[in-house]
Amino acid sequence: NAGVTQTPKFRILKIGQSMTLQCTQDMNHNYMYWYRQDPGMGLKLIYYSVGAGITDKGEVPNGYNVSRSTTEDFPLRLELAAPSQTSVYFCASSNRRRSYEQYFGPGTRLTVT
């Protein structure tokens, strides 16, 4: 199993550009999450999904959108990128059978200039 994969690993965006961060898991997990990690701060939940077709906002959803058309994929869309979205983004997945232990992807380092 590859686990949770994310692409790209690094990206530099100009202000106002848009992009999609890809996340795929091959563990058949129902639950998927997007977090951002800023220096000196704990991981903050952006969006999460409890199954295909179901998504919900986390703590810091503004400026982002998600979709969950399949169990495997959970892309995060940034529209009109702003410098405040410079961060490291992590995707994670979990399932009830393993008591919601979360498995993380390798992260995407995004810089908006």
Partner 1 sequence: KNEVEQSPQNLTAQEGEFITINCSYSVGISALHWLQQHPGGGIVSLFMLSSGKKKHGRLIATINIQEKHSSLHITASHPRDSAVYICAVSELRGSNYKLTFGKGTLLTVNP
CB 6 within 8 A of CB 23: yes
Sites for partner 1 among residues 59-78 (CB under 8 A): none
Quick one: 109 exposed, middle or buried, by C-beta within 10 A (0-12, 13-18, 19+)? middle
Binding mask 76-105 for partner 1 (x = CB under 8 A): --------------x-x-x-x--xxxxxxx
Nearer to partner 1, 41 or 113 (CB): 41
Contacts (Cβ under 8 Å, ≥6 apart) of 45: 33, 34, 35, 58, 59, 60
Contact between 41 and partner 1 per CB under 8 A: yes
Task: Give me the residues that bind partner 1 (CB under 8 A), please.
Answer: 31, 33, 40-45, 48, 50, 58, 90, 92, 94, 96, 99-107
